[in-house]
């Protein structure tokens, strides 16, 4: 039976029991709006200091209520991943579900406890608002539904990347990073919110959102197609790019940025070399223009320009002084970071399109610039920075004081030299780490133990080398000292090198921001060594131009003067790559595109064909 005390015939008097309520205190609610609960979903506020304008809120909004609006005067910096856009909300559409809050990569947007707004018919515009930190009506209301770690919709953690253990890798040049499996790549790609900050920050504006999405959709070929829109060095960049995209990634605001570089590497490795060549050839014109272009230097800048120009139907010849292509990507980057066969694969794509590379041909010695000027319609110099700079401290001319780039080139070419028992590297950039780690491998194989010290000018808070490089170097037994300025190379009585004296660094730049290191003379250290490697920067060898051309060209503080497209003061001559912008693969690629476009424009405007 029912558990209600109800009788078949309820008493007709039962309702009168309720008369007792007359004696109770009446419940009254105040006329004012009731304060809402602590996580109420009312009108939005947006912390403009935190907001980066990534528009992720707009993408998740299920009612299409969010419009992105440019607000002049707010900071805008593609390298840092900040846009001067802010979300505006249409309260005719918003349903206050709060998904925008849960997915916001920065945590800038939240809902407040404010919930009353009304207006006359002629004020309907007031339902379209641009939330700022002040609230809808400029009155402060406490935050209601805010970012919570409980149910954050942003996936803050990267897929783990497998690495070869330090003890296994130290005695060989095998690649350290394993790369993603297909499953890992799809999951990693799924973390992307498609904000496009990576695209804006990339020097060559790679279509990273598009290729990440293609990887997520399981279409590696489409990913490769998207990469080849802007980067014919995708194998190389997939391994050693300085990945400014990841610094700009909006997921990185609170978590680990999407591993864009490793995703690129995954897609390139997932597609066969033949298929990559077919994809890269898409869009190549089916006629021959009759123009001839000479490119000096088979590095990333030169070969990227060659890639673009050959697809436009021009005849491209690349002159390379050494016997293999790649430039600094081959001779500067150790094989444990970039296996040579991957570099060869990138270059093979470019040559498969018809680019000719003449190796062991040094311009200025084997062929003169005058010959090129005569025989070609345009000449591009992309020779990079192949000479190391010297510290010029006392003793730095000693034969056991080496330049990092020269030593790296020797190692790559397999040239024999006496491996030092104890080495000191001066410098704190990635090249310093490269040579330190290469020497460590040689020491391990020659002597069974690693004795390498790196003395960097910068402190660890302002370190130049990538953090992972520092971590991995330490794992491999390399000692890294920060804030040490080189004072003197110590040479024994027998003329043998015995070490490096360093001083503690007080400051590196002067009040005007110029490079002027100041040292603490009381903090002197001796680092015993039988070899010192200088790794403080590189410069270009410009002797190839010859006296006559050097005289005709315009220079700026020892650097070749070019316009923003790499065009020199000579109409037929361009320059690109590290020698213009400093050492970085992806900048060199971007520069290659820029110069190729400039050459193409020159051809289009010059009309008639020279030398024909």
Partner 1 sequence: MRPENYQARSQPPSNEFELNFGPNHPGIEGNYAFRVKLNGDEVLEARADAGYLHRGFEKLMEGRLWIQNIALVPRICVPDPVPMEVCYSLAIEEIGGLDVPERAQWIRVMQLEMSRLAAHLFAFGGHAATTGMYTPMFWGVADRDLILDRFEELTGGRVYSIYNIPGGVRRDVPDGFLERLSSLLDYLESRLPDYDNLFFTNQVFITRARDVGTMTQEQALSWGVTGPNLRATGLAFDVRRDDPYLVYDQIDFDIATEPGGDALSRNLVRRSELKQSIRILRQVIERLPSIKGPIRCPIPNPLAWNVPAGESYTRVESSKGELAYYVVSTGGDKPYRVHVRGPSSMHAVQVLEKLAVGSRLEDIAQIMFSLDACPPEVDR
Partner 2 sequence: MHRSGIFPARGITETAQETVYRIMSKELNIWLDDLLSDIESVQFKRKSSRRVRVDVGSEALPALLELLQGRASYVHLSAISCVDWIEEDEFELVYHVWSYETQSLVSAHTRIPREPGVYLSIYDLYQPAAFFERDIHEMFGVFFEGSPDMEKFILTEWNGPPPMRKEFDSEAFVNQTFSWEPYHPQWLKELEEEGGGITTRPEDVRR
Question: Where along the sequence are the contacts to partner 2 (CB under 8 A)?
Answer: 1-2, 55, 58-59, 61, 64-73, 84-85, 88, 90, 124-130
Residues in the chain: 612
One of 130, 153, 247, 353 touching partner 1 (CB under 8 A)? 153
Q: Are strands 315-319 and 292-296 parallel, antiparallel or unpaired?
A: parallel
User: Positive or negative, the Cα torsion across 517, 521, 525, 526?
Assistant: positive
Q: Which segments of 48-151 are extended strands (E)?
A: 66-70, 85-90, 109-111, 128-129
The pair of structure tokens assigned to 287 is: 């006629």
Q: Does 114 bind partner 1 (CB under 8 A)?
A: no
**With CB cut-offs between 5 and 8 Å by kind, which of partner 1, partner 2, none does residue 382 bind?**
none
In three-state secondary structure terms, 539 is strand
* Cβ contacts of 419 within 8 Å, gap of 6 or more: 439, 442, 443, 446, 447
Looking only at residues 468 through 487 of this chain, which bind partner 1 when binding is defined by CB under 8 A?
A: none
Rounded CA-CA distance 416/420 in Å is 12
Cβ atoms of 256 and 159 closer than 8 Å: no
Pick the stretch among 150-158, 260-268, 338-346, 352-360 that binds partner 1 (CB under 8 A): 150-158
Q: Indicate which single residue of 68, 74, 177, 187 sits in contact with partner 1 (rule: CB under 8 A).
A: 187
Given partner 1, partner 2, none, residue 193, with its beta carbon under 5 to 8 Å by kind, binds partner 1
Selected from 48, 53, 55, 56, the binder of partner 1 by CB under 8 A is 56
Q: Which residues contact 308 (CB under 8 A, 6 or more apart)?
A: 592, 593, 596, 597, 600
Considering the complex, state which of residue 152 and residue 530 has its C-beta at the smaller distance from partner 1.
152
Query: Beta-carbon neighbour count of residue 67 at 10 Å?
Result: 16
| Contact call for residue 7 and partner 1 (CB under 8 A) | yes
CB of 191: closest distance to partner 2 in angstroms? 18
User: Least distance from C-beta 155 to partner 1, angstroms?
Assistant: 5
Smallest separation (angstroms) from partner 2 to the CB of 57: 11
For residues 297-335, b (16+ Cβ closer than 10 Å) or e, as one string? bbbbbbbbbbbbbbbbebbbbbbbbbebbbbbbbbbbbb
Nearer to partner 1, 22 or 511 (CB): 22
CA dihedral 363, 366, 368, 372 (to 10 degrees): -70
Distance CA 496, CA 498 (A): 6
List 14, 79, 116, 285, residue binding partner 1 (CB under 8 A) = 14
Partners of 401 in beta bridges: 532
Stretches 31-39, 297-305, 482-490, 532-540: which one binds partner 1 (CB under 8 A)? 31-39
Nearer to partner 2, 90 or 219 (CB): 90
Number of residues binding to partner 1, judged by CB under 8 A: 51
Q: For residue 346, what is the enclosing H or E element?
A: helix 340-352
Structure tokens at 601: 């424009």
Nearer to partner 2, 85 or 308 (CB): 85
Separation of alpha carbons 443 and 423, rounded Å? 10
By beta-carbon proximity to partner 1, the closer residue of 146 and 302 is: 146
Among 50, 84, 143, 190, binds partner 1 (CB under 8 A): 190
Among 87, 98, 131, 300, interactor with partner 1 by CB under 8 A: 98
Kindly give, in sequence order, each residue whose CB lies less than 8 Å from that of residue 418, ignoring residues fewer than 6 positions away. Answer: none
Q: Does 294 bind partner 1 (CB under 8 A)?
A: no
Binds 148: which of partner 1, partner 2, none (CB < 5-8 Å by kind): partner 1
Q: Can residue 32 be called a binding residue for partner 1 (CB under 8 A)?
A: no
Structure tokens at 25: 């205190």
Token couple for 528: 């015993």
Q: Does residue 40 bind partner 1 (CB under 8 A)? A: yes
Identified binder of partner 1 from the candidate list 22, 23, 151, 511, rule CB under 8 A: 151
Residue 106 beta carbon to partner 1: minimum distance, rounded to whole angstroms:
15
Interface with partner 1, residue 17, by CB under 8 A: yes
Query: In the numeric block, which tokens belong to residue 386?
Result: 């192949």
Which contiguous run of DSSP H or E holds residue 497? strand 497-509
CB of 140 to partner 1, least distance (A): 19
Cα(305)–Cα(383) distance, rounded to whole angstroms?
13
Residue 470's H or E segment, with its range, is helix 467-475
CB of 291 to partner 1, least distance (A): 44
Binding piece for partner 1, criterion CB under 8 A, among 145-153, 289-297, 363-371, 422-430: 145-153
- Residues 204-223 contacting partner 1, CB under 8 A: 213, 216
464 binding partner 1? (CB under 8 A): no
Q: CB 85 → partner 2: shortest distance, Å?
A: 6
Which listed range, 142-150, 229-237, 274-282, 353-361, lies at the site for partner 1 (CB under 8 A)? 142-150
Picked from partner 2, partner 1, none, the partner binding residue 168 (CB below 5 to 8 A depending on kind) is none
Exposed, middle or buried, 350 (CB in 10 Å: 0-12/13-18/19+)?
Answer: buried
Query: Helix (H, G, I), strand (E, B), or coil: what is residue 44?
Result: strand
* Distance of alpha carbon 329 from alpha carbon 307, whole angstroms: 17
- Residues forming a β-bridge with 294: 317, 379
Interaction partner, residue 10 (partner 1, partner 2, none; CB < 5-8 Å by kind): partner 1
Nearer to partner 1, 187 or 367 (CB): 187
Selected from 33, 49, 62, 446, the binder of partner 1 by CB under 8 A is: 62
- Contacts with partner 1 by CB under 8 A lie at 2-7, 9-12, 14-15, 17-18, 27, 36-41, 56, 59-60, 62-63, 95-99, 102-103, 111, 144-145, 148, 150-151, 153-155, 187, 189-194, 213, 216
């Amino acid at each position: 039976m029912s558990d209600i005390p109800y009788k078949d015939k309820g008493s007709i008097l039962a309702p009168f029991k309720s008369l007792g309520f007359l004696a109770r205190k009446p419940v009254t609610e105040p006329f004012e709006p009731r304060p809402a609960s602590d996580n109420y979903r009312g009108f939005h506020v947006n912390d403009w200091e935190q907001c980066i304008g990534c528009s992720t809120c707009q993408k998740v909004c299920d009612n299409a209520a969010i419009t992105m609006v440019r607000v002049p005067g707010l900071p805008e910096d593609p390298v840092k991943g900040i846009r001067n856009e802010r979300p505006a909300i249409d309260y005719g559409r918003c349903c206050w579900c709060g998904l925008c809050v849960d997915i916001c990569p920065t945590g800038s947007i939240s809902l407040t406890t404010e919930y009353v707004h009304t207006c006359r018919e002629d004020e309907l515009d007031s339902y379209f608002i641009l939330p700022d930190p002040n609230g809808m009506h400029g009155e402060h209301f406490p935050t209601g539904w805010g970012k919570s770690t409980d149910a954050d919709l942003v996936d803050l953690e990267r897929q783990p990347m497998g690495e070869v253990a330090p003890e296994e890798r130290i005695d060989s040049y095998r690649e350290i990073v394993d790369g993603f499996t297909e499953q890992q790549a799809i999951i990693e790609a799924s973390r992307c919110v498609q904000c496009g900050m990576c695209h804006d920050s990339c020097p060559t504006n790679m279509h990273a959102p598009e290729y990440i999405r293609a990887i997520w959709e399981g279409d590696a070929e489409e990913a490769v197609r998207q990469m080849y829109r802007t980067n014919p060095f995708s194998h190389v960049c997939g391994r050693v790019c300085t990945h400014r995209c990841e610094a700009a990634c909006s997921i990185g605001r609170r978590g680990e940025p999407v591993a864009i570089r490793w995703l690129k590497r995954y897609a390139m490795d997932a597609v066969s070399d033949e298929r990559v060549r077919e994809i890269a050839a898409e869009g190549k014109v089916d006629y021959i223009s009759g123009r001839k272009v000479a490119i000096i230097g088979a590095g990333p800048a030169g070969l990227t320009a060659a890639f673009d120009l050959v697809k436009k139907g021009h005849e491209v010849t690349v002159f390379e002084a050494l016997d293999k292509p790649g430039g600094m990507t081959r001779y500067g980057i150790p094989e444990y970071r970039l296996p040579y066969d991957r570099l060869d694969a990138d270059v093979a794509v470019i040559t498969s399109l018809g680019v000719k590379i003449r190796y062991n041909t040094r311009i200025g010695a084997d062929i003169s610039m005058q010959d090129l000027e005569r025989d070609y319609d345009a000449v591009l110099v992309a020779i990079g920075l192949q000479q190391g700079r010297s510290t010029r401290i006392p003793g730095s001319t000693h034969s056991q004081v080496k330049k990092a780039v020269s030593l790296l080139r020797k190692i790559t070419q397999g040239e024999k030299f006496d491996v030092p028992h104890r080495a000191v590297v001066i410098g704190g950039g990635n090249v310093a780490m490269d040579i330190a780690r290469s020497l460590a491998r040689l020491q391990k194989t020659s002597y069974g133990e690693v004795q390498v010290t790196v003395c960097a000018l910068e402190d660890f808070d302002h370190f130049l080398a990538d953090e992972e490089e520092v971590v991995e170097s330490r794992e491999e037994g390399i000692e890294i000292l920060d804030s040490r300025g080189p004072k003197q190379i110590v040479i024994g009585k027998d003329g043998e090198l015995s070490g490096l004296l360093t001083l503690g660094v007080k400051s590196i730049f002067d009040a005007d921001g110029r490079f002027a290191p100041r040292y603490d003379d009381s903090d002197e250290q001796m680092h015993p060594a039988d070899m010192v490697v200088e790794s403080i920067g590189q410069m270009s060898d410009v002797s190839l131009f010859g006296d006559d051309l050097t005289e005709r060209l315009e220079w700026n503080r020892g650097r070749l003067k070019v316009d923003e497209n790499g065009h020199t003061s000579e109409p037929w001559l361009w320059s690109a790559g590290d020698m213009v912008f400093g050492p970085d693969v992806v900048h060199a690629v971007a520069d290659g595109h820029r110069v190729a476009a400039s050459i193409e424009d020159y051809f289009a405007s010059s009309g008639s064909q020279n030398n024909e």
